[in-house]
Structures are given as C-alpha cells and as structure tokens.
Amino acid sequence: MTKPQNPSRRDVLKMLGVTGAVLAVSQAYTTVMGESRVAAASSITPLLRYSLTDARNNIVVKNRRRAMLSSHVYPKATFVRDAFYGPLALNDVNLSAECYRWFVEAQNADTGQIRCAVPFDPKNEYLFQIWDDDSSLLFVSWAAWLKRNRIKVDPTYVEKAWQFVKTHVHDDFHVTPAQPFCYWADTVLFETPERVAHNQGLYALAARAMLEQGWGQVVVADYERARARYTEYFRPDLGIVAMGKDSWWADKLDISVLFPEFMLRWLYKESALPDEMILSMVDRYVALASVYKKDQTLAGLKIICAADGSFLPPERYHVPVLNEPGHYQNGGYWPMYSLIALALRYKIAPDKNLKALIETLVRVELAKDRRSKEIIILAPGVEGAIDPNRSGYTWNALIAIALKWAGVA
C-alpha cells in the first residue's frame, strides 16, 4: 500500500500562520505550570501502574465467561469502549477475544449495528437503550486488532458492522444523527445531524482496519478520503480541530477529537492530522481550558468547552443532573482523553514544561487515593472535587500506554 500523503508542512504552516494559532511551547506550558515546578518534577511511572491495576480489577466472570466492566459502578453490563480499550491497554489478546464475543453475539442481525452495552442478565435489557453511537466504528477496529494478533475472526460480523457504518457516510464524512448518545460524550445533545470530529477520526481508523485485513472491499482511496475529511475539521480562525461542522457545536473545543489520531499513530504508525494541527490544538487547549483551585494549583483541564474556554450552557446537554458547568461533560476533567492528547503532542515535540504538566495531572488524579478517575469536577468553588463513585475506570489504562509510547513515562 502506498503511504498516505498529508498536506505539506509548508502548506499547513501557512494555514496556521493566518491566525498565529501555534503557541510557543515554552511560553504556553510555563504559563500553566510556572518555572519553579518544572525542575521539581519526578517520574510518575509508579503511579501509572494503578491505572493498569484498576483495569485488571474490572475483569469479571459472567455466565462462565470473562467480561470487562467500565468500573464497578456499572456492574450490570459490559460497554464496548472499555471492553475494547481495557484489554488493548493490558495487551491481553485472549481477554480481548472473550470480550469481543459479547458484542458479536448481540449484533443486530438485520442492520449490523453493534450496541454500546450488552447486559449480562436479559431482564436488565430495559436499562440499556440502543442508541446510534460509535460502537460499530470501534468494533471494526477491534476485530482487525484481534486478527492481527492471530485470533480467528469471522469477517461476516465485521462486514455487517461496516455496512451499518457506511449508512452514515455521505461524501466521505461520517454523519451523526440528531440525538444524544452519539459518541463517548453521550450527554452532548445534537439537535440537528452533525459531522462529529471524534467519529470522523474513528471512521478513518475503521477504514484503515478494514483495509489492513482486506475486508469490505475497502481500498486505499477510501481510507485516504476519510483521513482527508478528518483534517477538514481544523479551524484556522480558532487554531483548533473543531468538535463539529454543521450545528451549534461546530466551533466548540473537545480535546477527544485527537484520540483517533493517537490510535492511528499508535496502532498503525500512520497519521491523518498533520503535526502542526495537533500542536496548535493542544497548545490552544492548554491555554484556554486549564482550571485552577483557590490556591492556584492546577485542578484539571475542561474536556469540552467554548472556543474561548468558557463553560457551555447546561441546556445543550441531555442529562440535567450532570450538565451544570464544570460537571461531567460540560467542562469536567476527563484524564483519559486529555492526557492522551498531551502525550500525542509530547511525542511530536518533547518539552520539559509539557512533561511537567503531564506529571502534575497524573498526580492530581492518582497521588491521593491511587484510583483512576472517570472525571474530576471543575465547577466554580469546588475545582478539583472528586466523586469516589467515579473512580477505578478501565479505559484510563490507556493513559499509561500512551505516556510510555510518547516517552514521558
């Protein structure tokens, strides 16, 4: 296969130069951390082991077979993201294969859709409504990883899932329906159909997976077009890879837009987004989304926020009990997505101040109770607060892998 071609460095720099979006890294991260804290930073590798331990502790046996929980807060079902990401981070191929079977067996035989969660007991089915989310996209990439690792995979199920994915693709963009529960940020409410950057990146990753295994009659041109569309989310006027393109969410900042790029680089040693877009996105994100406690120590970085870094109106989210500013997906701090984006940036351009920021965030999450966190609250007045019930999360194991891959830990 020919190596995909990215826009030239000169072209991208010219585009970025319109707004001067790339911040000088020494300036950007010294501003966040302060010079005095850089020299004091030490290895966080021992702490990262707790994230891996939490993932292992979420392996359960149900109906005489293993499954992966998101955390013990959700004991009634296995969710596709954690079932894929957890064994992937642990590099446990046999566990991954067992977890994969739960979703194969629950696939919609008519449409090919892969559901987000499979309940262990059929009588709990009513608790897990089947939404139109990113699960089918992830299933395709998951299957290819298993096949690469010599696990027998029936391509019939994968190709059915791919056909479901393709019903969402128009002009090489993945289009998400108007509803909540459309991607990992499930409380985000799309009132109109939207081309969600995170899902577009996962579509490019899925196309690469299909291409690798020779499934679904996918050819190089399909993959290259999906990649090219992913780059079109970059907004030179804002210096960010925007969350969407079509709705009220089109100019919002969501750091998880870079997660599929990490997966593409880590799993395939290929890229979609040019380095300069990633540098611009992360530098803007750190400058705008950092939140501090009253003592001026860093509490975390908002996962989703406005292009100027402000919190978003609660009514733009689907679940009222979770939607206040600084809570959950309305500007809470989600370590997995933020730290993986920072790792991606560090891999491109290592910097001591960025490393100090990463190490500080790992300590913020793990140093006190040695438990990985789904979310840290950044609401005004309670910046850095932790809900103990949202600790011990499987997918945070990917943080340890990403930081090792990037050379931080």
Report the C-alpha gap between 88 and 80 in whole angstroms. Answer: 12
In a domain, 44, yes or no: yes
Tokens read off for 349: 């351009």
pLDDT at 20: 40
pLDDT at 33: 62
Tokens read off for 292: 């501090």
pLDDT at 179: 95
In a domain, 102, yes or no: yes
Assess contact for 182 and 188: CB atoms under 8 A: yes
Bin 78: left if φ > 0, else alpha if -120 < ψ < 50, else beta: beta
The parent domain of residue 398 ranges over 9-406
pLDDT at 19: 37
In a domain, 136, yes or no: yes
In a domain, 13, yes or no: yes
pLDDT at 65: 95
Report the C-alpha gap between 395 and 57 in whole angstroms. Answer: 12
Helix 45-57 with 352-366: angle, nearest 10 deg: 40
| pLDDT, tens only, 111-144 | 999 999 999 999 999 999 999 999 999 999 999 9
In a domain, 2, yes or no: no
Assess contact for 291 and 383: CB atoms under 8 A: yes
In a domain, 284, yes or no: yes
The residues of the chain scoring below 70 in pLDDT are 1-28, 30-31, 33-42
In a domain, 4, yes or no: no
Q: What is the CATH number of the domain that holds 326?
A: 1.50.10.10
Report the C-alpha gap between 21 and 23 in whole angstroms. Answer: 6
Report the C-alpha gap between 357 and 62 in whole angstroms. Answer: 40
Report the C-alpha gap between 409 and 153 in whole angstroms. Answer: 34
What's the total number of domains in the chain? 1
User: Half-sphere exposure (CA, 13 Å, Cβ side) for 134?
Assistant: 25
In a domain, 1, yes or no: no
- Running DSSP on this structure, what letter comes out for residue 218? -
